[in-house]
A and B are shown apart, each in its own frame.
Chain A
Amino acid sequence: MNQLVAAPVPRLPRVNRYLAFGAGLTVLALAVALVGLAYSPYAPSKVDLLHRLAAPSPAHLLGTDRFGRDVLSRVLAGGWRSITLGFGATALGLAIGLPVALATGFHRGRLDQIVMRFVDALLSIPTLVFALLVIVGLGPGLVQAVLALGIAASPKFVRIVRSAVLDAASHDYVTAARARGESGLYIQYGEILPSVWAPIIVEGSINVGFALVGGAALSYLGLGTQPPHADWGVMINEAQKYISVSFWPLLGPALAICASVIGFNLLGEGLRDRLHVQRSFRDD
């Protein structure tokens, strides 16, 4: 048998711009949260009724809100709560949703039919209402809000990831794994999971933003972050009532949420491209 000479390896993109940009934004959001734990220019709940809804100035870089509180200080101070809420709820939702999606999509059959009808029933409840139902049982507070939003998000993850699992499971490499006697768990986590990263990343990063805003709604009802503390969602919620007077209080927290969501999304996509080479060079 003639030995094949290894053809030159197609070049992979060395510096992935998504990855760099996404990682930068994510690091920025995390840095804001960390800095806010230790430092803010003003006390975040210091009221200054003489400077209400002020535009940005050297004294208040992001302006002030309806009580004259410094927006930058509140963005910094609320950062860790928002990050915990957004990423925590998403991580929890995935932690519940992924195993269910992998098991049902891989095994199919009766279990799949029962679980998926149940998931469909849960999906028919609006996420926020579902979160409220959970929090009624748990009581108010940040940790409870994370739990509530995470549990409420999980059916959505099951639905979306399961369809990707079904697609991946139809590939011959899954049949090949079964034919060589791999365990079901190995096939789910070793063979299928790497193939379903794309929907996980897209849905996960969207959910980070959703959890932030959902957390604000819970806080508004007195069930999430407790006043006078703030998180980015709460700040947006408060500021939108005064949007006709001044949009400055909205800008800071909105930018912070945008940066985290876009950063997380790009980071995820970049990681996927980086880790999982799927470039095809077909031209015919």
Chain B
Amino acid sequence: MTDPLIAIENLTVSFAVGGVLHPAVKDLSLTLHASEVVGLVGESGSGKSTALLAVMSYLPGNAVVEAGRVLHGGVDLLRASRETLDDVRGRRIAMIYQDPTTALNPAMTVGAQIAEVLARHLSMEGARARERTHELLRLVQLDDPPRVAAAHPHQLSGGMQQRVMIAMALAGEPDVLLMDEPTTALDVVRTLHRQIRSAIVFVSHNLAAVAQLADRIGVLYAGELMELGPAARVLEEPSHPYTRGLIAAVPRIGARRLPQGIPGTASRDPQRFTHCVFADRCAFTADICRSSRPALLVPSSGGHLSRCHFAGEPSRIGAVPGERATRATHDRMHETSPLLEVSRLSVEYRRGAGFLGLGRAHAVRAVRDVSFRLPRRRVLAVVGESGSGKSTLARALLRLTPAAQGRIVFDGADVRAFDAGHLRAYRRRAQIVFQNPTSSLNPHKTVADIVARPLVLEGVPREDRRSRVLATLRAVGLTEAYLDRHPAQLSGGEKQRVALARAFVTEPLLVVLDEPTTALDVSVQATILELLLEQKERTGCAYLLISHDLAVVRQVADEVLVMRNGEVCEIGPAERIFGSPSHPYTRELLAAVPDLEPPAARNSV
């Protein structure tokens, strides 16, 4: 085997926060060979971003490299001079960032930004640079390169911006591409890799995305490399309990089975490396797991490593996760009168009205002629891409945004005709849970205040509030110990549980779930989904689930409504929409969902 392009050796990085060193990556060793694709998968706090930034020697100011090195062409990048790094970054190693809207300069044309790289690293100017810019844009499958090159970033769609960013990274003809959470341009990257064969390291929280691209997969958890091996081996024969848990937690579009969460949250204790970092959450923990740190062992054959004491004894850590029992579908015979009935609902925004609305306004229809019925105890999923109008629809249902036309009938009453008093009563019975639990909880309040507030509004006497708050907290898996905490002291999953408790404390009939698991880690997402279904059974409410994640929808929805540009494309029972979609747009959406199985096309490479 030839020398690796990049060799990370025993890298340990900590962050100094408030005078204390918090380790982010411990003892990480990883090599990258020419034209190889290595995917690092991990949840928040796993150290995956730190590892990626270390390769570029881009660690933030409070990062302390405690040990290890990152070798590239015989040079340790972590200790290289500024001049050396300037010549490596962009030229030998290039980075593709997660968010193109912040990574591209809004004041420069796309062509000028690419030309900058060409001039800096290849001393290419003028007509030759222009020609090369167009070549690069064509390489990332953008039509009409001259037009794209002359555009400013805001004139391009998100997907096009992402491709531009990839073109920019390729401009310096690097040997290594680093990618942070590539999610939308997976297909572009895959095609591209076949053409240019540069090596790629990418990090993602999305195991399915990793499965689409990687030759080898590294699984990071709480700063430790837990498992490393060929993609097919790691996905099909995971030898670490954490990897197995992670795979079981991924919602699969191919199968209607509930994903299974991993209980608990990752340890942040600076002393955690004296034992197995996963010991607290692992189902197979033995004494040795709490007393000594496992080494990276070879479970079966070469190239596959697992940091588990029992890696050599697969029988000790249970079976490879298989299909779980299918969720029972509801008996349609019990369908009663609908809880919510929406007919021909339209929502408009006035644009360009100007100062005091004196200008010439034009109405933009965000939602057009939407009709559906939602019975009790059922889950209706509204799916569509961003901008499809699905969130506007949800807001209109709760009367947070006025509707322009149509009827909303809730429990037999016309919601649009409610006066202030009826509206208040309606809002206690129709609740909403948001995507981002950090934004949905006021950072200045305690959990007790947050969950008790809806009861205060309802006029529940003080002495009854505490018991109801506690009962609701317990129902979402939290304990009394959380009452006095502030949101900043909670993990993402805990925050979302608090948000759920706030929504459920008044026992609503309808809960709008606006992307309730999108901001959460995979292992937590599965637990929250499970919890949502449990709450539905307990309280008998109905859900309107807004989501762009079809794999999640597949697991929980009874009915699916597909939206595009504010209109309904298709509506029907989940089995039919997923089994035999009739609208071409639905088929397009379904085809775009990455699944855990490596794509067949890769086998031919």
- Chain A positions near chain B (C-beta within 8 angstroms): 1-10, 13, 110, 113-114, 117, 171-173, 175-176, 178-182, 191, 194-195, 275-284
Separation in Å of the B368 CB from the closest CB of chain A?
23
What 5 pairs between A and B have smallest CB-CB spacing? A172-B440, A6-B481, A181-B427, A194-B444, A172-B434
Measured between C-beta atoms, what is the minimum distance from A272 to chain B in Å?
10
CB-based contact B488/A180 at 8 Å: no
How far apart sit A79 and B381, CA to CA, in the bound complex (Å)? Answer: 67
Which residues of B come within 8 Å of A, CB atoms? 15, 17-18, 22, 24, 42, 44-50, 263-265, 268-269, 355-357, 398, 400, 423-424, 427-428, 430-432, 434-436, 439-445, 453-454, 457, 474-479, 481-482, 485-486, 488-489, 491, 494, 497, 499, 502, 506, 530-531, 534
Minimum CB–CB distance for A142 against chain B, Å? 37
Q: Which of B15, B454, B491 has the most CB of A within 10 A?
A: B454
Within the complex, what minimum Cβ distance (angstroms) separates A172 from chain B?
A: 4
Is there an interface contact between B485 and A9, defined as CB atoms closer than 8 Å? yes
Cα A10 to Cα B269 in complex, Å, equals: 10
Q: Which residues of B contact A194 (CB under 8 A)?
A: 442, 444-445
How far apart sit A5 and B264, CA to CA, in the bound complex (Å)? 7
Q: Which of A178, A179, A275, A277 contacts B489 (CB 8 A)?
A: A277
Docked complex Cα distance between A129 and B400 (Å): 44
Known: A5-B264, A6-B481, A110-B357. A180 touches B24 (CB 8 A): no
| Residues of the B chain whose Cβ atoms lie less than 8 Å from the Cβ of A282 | 44-45
* Chain A residue contacts of B491, Cβ below 8 A: 7
- Quick check: A283 and B265 within 8 Å, CB to CB? no
A13 to chain B, nearest CB (A): 7
Complex contact A173–B440 (CB within 8 A): yes
Contact between chains at B264 and A284 (CB < 8 Å): no
Q: How far is the CB of B484 from chain A (nearest CB, A)?
A: 9
Contact yes or no, A195 B444, CB < 8 A: yes
Pick the contact of B479 from A3, A9, A182 — CB < 8 Å? A3
Enumerate chain B residues within 8 angstroms of A179, measured Cβ to Cβ.
Answer: 398, 400, 427, 430-432
Q: How many pairs of A and B residues are in contact by the CB < 8 Å rule? A: 119
The interface residues of chain B, by DSSP majority, are classed as mixed
Considering the complex, give the chain A residue whose CB is closest to the CB of B15.
A283
CA distance A278 to B453 in the complex (A): 21
Contacts of B423 in A (CB 8 A): 181
Given A172-B440, A179-B400, decide whether A284 and B48 contact each other with a Cβ distance below 8 A.
Answer: yes
Query: Distance (Å) between the CB of B401 and the closest chain A CB?
Result: 10
Within 8 Å by CB of A6, from B356, B428, B479, B534, lies B479
Determine whether the beta carbon of B355 is less than 8 Å from that of A113. yes
Q: 16 more A-B contacts (CB under 8 A) besides A4-B479, A172-B440?
A: A1-B475, A2-B263, A4-B478, A13-B18, A110-B357, A113-B355, A113-B356, A173-B440, A176-B440, A180-B431, A181-B428, A279-B488, A281-B268, A282-B45, A284-B24, A284-B44
Say which residue of A13, A175, A182 sits within 8 Å of B434 (CB atoms).
Answer: A175
Task: With CB as the reference atom, state the residue of chain A lying closest to B443.
Answer: A278
Residues of chain B within 8 A (CB-CB) of A195 are 442-444
**Chain B residues near A2 (CB, 8 Å)?**
263, 477
CB nearest to B62 among chain A residues: A283
CB distance from A278 to the nearest CB of B (A): 5
Residues of B within 8 A of A1 (CB): 475-477, 530-531, 534
Identify B432's interface contact among A113, A175, A281, CB under 8 A.
A175
**Would you give 16 A-B contacts (Cβ < 8 Å), ordered by A?**
A3-B474, A4-B497, A5-B264, A9-B489, A13-B18, A179-B432, A180-B427, A180-B428, A180-B506, A181-B427, A276-B444, A277-B443, A283-B17, A283-B45, A283-B50, A284-B24
Question: Which of A171, A172, A275, A277 counts the most B-chain CB atoms under 10 A from its CB?
Answer: A172
Please tell me which one of the listed residues B49, B477, B497, B502 contacts residue A176 in the complex, with CB atoms under 8 A apart: B502
**Chain A residue with the shortest CB-CB distance to B481:** A6
Is the CB–CB distance between A278 and B531 below 8 Å? no
Whether the Cβ atoms of B479 and A10 lie closer than 8 Å is no
CB contact under 8 A between A175 and B400, given known A1-B477, A113-B355, A114-B356: yes
| A110:B443 contact, CB within 8 angstroms | no
- Which chain A residue has the least Cβ–Cβ distance from B490? A7
Is B50 in contact with A284, judged by CB distance below 8 angstroms? yes
Tell me the complex Cα distance, A135–B44, Å: 59
For the complex, what is the distance from the CA of A237 to the CA of B142, rounded to whole Å? 67
Contacts of B430 in A (CB 8 A): 179
CB-CB nearest in chain A for B45:
A284
In the assembled complex, which residues on chain B have CB atoms less than 8 Å from the CB atom of A284?
Answer: 24, 42, 44-50
Out of A4, A114, A173, A279, which one reaches B439, CB within 8 Å? Answer: A173
- How far is it, in angstroms, between the C-alpha of A281 and the C-alpha of B15 when the chains are bound? 10
Cα distance A12–B283 in the bound complex, in angstroms: 32
Cα A53 to Cα B366 in complex, Å, equals 74
Q: How far is the CA of A113 from the CA of B356 in the complex (A)?
A: 7
Tell me the smallest distance from the CB of A19 to a CB of chain B, in Å: 16
A113: chain B residues within 8 A (beta carbon): 355-356
- Chain A nearest Cβ from B402, distance in angstroms: 13
With both beta carbons as reference points, the residue of chain B lying nearest to A191 in the complex is identified as B442
Least Cβ–Cβ distance between A231 and chain B, in angstroms: 37
Q: Could you tell me if A181 and B15 are in contact, using CB atoms closer than 8 angstroms?
A: no
Q: How far is the CB of B169 from chain A (nearest CB, A)?
A: 22
**CB neighbours of B479 from chain A (8 A):** 3-6
In the complex, are the beta carbons of B457 and A7 less than 8 A apart?
Answer: no
A9 CA to B154 CA, complexed, in Å: 43
Residues of B within 8 A of A173 (CB): 439-442
Task: Name the residue in B442, B494, B499 with the highest tally of chain A Cβ atoms < 10 Å from its Cβ.
Answer: B442
Residues of B within 8 A of A276 (CB): 443-444
Report B-chain residues with C-beta under 8 Å of the C-beta of A172: 434-436, 439-440
Query: Across the interface, do B457 and A180 meet the contact criterion of CB distance under 8 Å?
Result: yes
Decide: A280 and B488 in contact? CB cutoff 8 A.
yes
Q: Is the CB of A180 within 8 A of B454?
A: yes
How far is A9 from B453 in the complex, measured between Cα atoms in Å? 23
Closest approach, in angstroms, between the C-beta of A149 and any C-beta of chain B? 30
List B contacts of A10 (CB < 8 A): 489
The distance from the CB of B292 to the nearest CB of chain A, in whole angstroms, is: 22
Given contacts A284-B46, A284-B49, A284-B50, contact A4 B442 (CB under 8 A): no
A5 CB contacts on chain B under 8 angstroms: 264, 479
B64 CB, nearest partner CB in chain A, Å: 12
Complex CA gap A180/B511 in Å reads: 12
